[in-house]
Amino acid sequence: MYIKEIIAPLEVLAPASLQEDYDNCGLLTGNTNWQCTGVLIALDATEAVVNEAKAKGCNLVIAHHPIIFGGLKKITGSNYVERAVITAIKNDIAIYAIHTNLDNVITGVNGKMADMLGLINRRPLQPKKGVVKKIVVYVPQAHANKVREALFTSGAGTIGNYSGCSFNSSGQGTFTAGKNTQPFVGQADKPHTEEEVKIEMVYFAWQQQQLLNALYKAHPYEEVAFDIYAIDNTVDAFGSGLMGELPNAMPEPDFLDFVKQQFGLQLVRHTALVGKPVTRVAICGGAGSFLTRAAVAAGADFYITADVKYHEFFDADKQLVLADIGHYESEQFTINLLFDILKEKFPTFAVQKTEVKTNPVHYFL
C-alpha cells in the first residue's frame, strides 16, 4: 500500500481546492510514492505525535491542522514547528494535513460535531461559491453520445442527487481547416459546415483536469472547441459552518448541559441566555467568530464555536447564545471521523489514533 493510495479517499471527500487561501493542506513532508507502513491520525502533528508514529511503526501522520502554516525560513529546531519537521524528515515520516478543506465539507469536521448533537436538516451556514463550473462543448452529432458519456464518467453532470444531467442543442458548426491539418470531417483549405450538438453540463472545479483528459480522448476533432464558465451557484454539500435542528426543542440550560456532556467539557464560555427554547443550532469547529453574524441572520438559537474574543461576543447582540467550547474540544472528534473513513476503506490496514493529547490549553478549576 502506497501513501498516495491511503490519501486518495480523503482527497475525494475533501479536495484540496476547497481549502481557504491562507491554508496549507496536503502532503507537508515525505513522498506519496513511499510504501506506507501504517497511519497515525491526530489533530496536530507535533513532535510528540511524530515520535509516537515512529514508535508504532507508522510512516504516515494524518493531521487536521498543518504543522507548517507559513513559510519556514530556517529549520534549526528552535521552535515546536521546526522540531516536528526535523523529526519527521529524519525518520522518513510523511505528514499530511486535511484542514479547511475538511471544514468546508458538510460531512467533515462540522458534520461530526452535528453527529454528536444529533442535528437534522443540515446545511452550510455560509455556502461556498466557486465550487461549480460549467463546460460547453461542440461535437459532431454521430459522436455526441460518446463524448457525453465520457464527461459523465469523469464526474461531470451531477446536480444534487441527480446524475447524467446535461443540456443538448443542435446547430451548425463552421470551420476551414488550415494546411498541415488532418480534419476529421471536411478538407483542408475548404470551408466546411457540420451538423453538431452543443453539450452543456456542470462539474466541480477539482474535476476539471480529469474532465478535460476525458474530453480530448473521446472527441474526434483535432482541435476541440469548448468553453468553461465559472458560475456562482452554491452547493449544499460545501461551505463554512453548519446549520441544523434538534429533533426536539430544549431549554437553554439543558442544552448547555447536553453540549458539555457530549463534548466532555470542563466549562463553556457563553453570552447571556436569551430565554427561548433551542431548536436551530449553528456550529463551526475551531475559530468561528467570523460566522456569528451569519448564524444570527440564519435564525439560529445557539451558535457553538471556539476562539471567540471578548469584543466578538457582542456580535451575538442578544439574538442567540454564542458558546465558545474551545478549539481542541470542538474538533477533537475529527480524529474519529478520519479513522472511520480509512478503516472502512482499508479494513485490514494499520490505522491508529494518536494517544497524545495535543491540546495546549489547560484549565485550573
Give the span between the Cα atoms of 211 and 207, in whole angstroms.
6
Which pLDDT value is given to residue 290? Answer: 97
Q: In whole angstroms, what is the distance from residue 68 CA to residue 145 CA?
A: 47
pTM: 0.91
What is d(CA 60, CA 357) in angstroms, rounded to the nearest whole number? 18
Q: Which three cell numbers, joined as nine digits, stand for 218? A: 473521446
Predicted local distance difference test score (pLDDT) of residue 71: 83
> Please, is 312 exposed, middle or buried when counting C-beta atoms within 10 Å of its C-beta (0-12, 13-18, 19+)?
middle
> Could you tell me which residues are beta bridge partners of residue 97?
26, 63
d(CA 128, CA 125): 9
The single residue listed with the C-alpha cell 457563553 is 270
Q: Kindly indicate the confidence band of residue 130, based on its pLDDT and cuts at 50, 70 and 90.
A: confident
| Res 341 pLDDT > 90 | yes
How does residue 191 score in pLDDT terms, banded at 50, 70 and 90?
very high
| HEC string for the chain | CEHHHHHHHHHHHCCHHHCCCCCCCEEEECCCCCECCCEEEEEECCHHHHHHHHHCCCCEEEEEECCCCCCCCCCCCCCHHHHHHHHHHHCCCEEEECCHHHHCECCCHHHHHHHHHCCEEEEEEEECCCCEEEEEEEEEHHHHHHHHHHHHHCCCCCECCECCCCEEEEEEEEEEECCCCCCCCCCECCEEEEEEEEEEEEEEHHHHHHHHHHHHHHCCCCCCCEEEEECCCCCCCEEEEEEEEEEEEECHHHHHHHHHHHHCCCCCEECCCCCCCEEEEEEEEEECHHHHHHHHHCCCCEEEEECCCCHHHHHHCCCCEEEECCHHHHHCCHHHHHHHHHHHHCCCCCEEECCCCCCCCCCCC
Long-range CB contacts for residues 186-195, cutoff 8 Å, separation at least 24: 194/140, 195/140, 195/141, 195/170, 195/171
pLDDT at site 160 = 87
Which residue is it, cell 473513513? Answer: 341
Radius of gyration of the chain (CA): 25
- Asked whether residue 334 carries a pLDDT value surpassing 90, the answer given is yes
* Per-residue confidence (pLDDT) for residue 102, from 0 to 100: 98
Render pLDDT for 306-333 as a digit per residue (tens, 0 to 9). Answer: 999 999 999 999 999 999 999 999 999 9
Cell of 265: 467539557
CB-count burial class (<10 Å; 0-12, 13-18, 19+) for 184: middle
Mean pLDDT of 81-108: 98
Cell of 214: 476525458
Mean pLDDT of 8-35: 96
pLDDT digit string, tens, across residues 267-297: 999 999 999 999 999 999 999 999 999 999 9
The yes-or-no verdict on residue 65 having pLDDT over 90 is yes
Instruction: Yes or no: say if 246 and 119 are a contact pair by the CB < 8 Å rule.
Output: yes
Q: How far apart are CA 277 and CA 148, in angstroms?
A: 51
Residues 149-168: pLDDT tens digits? 999 999 999 998 999 999 99
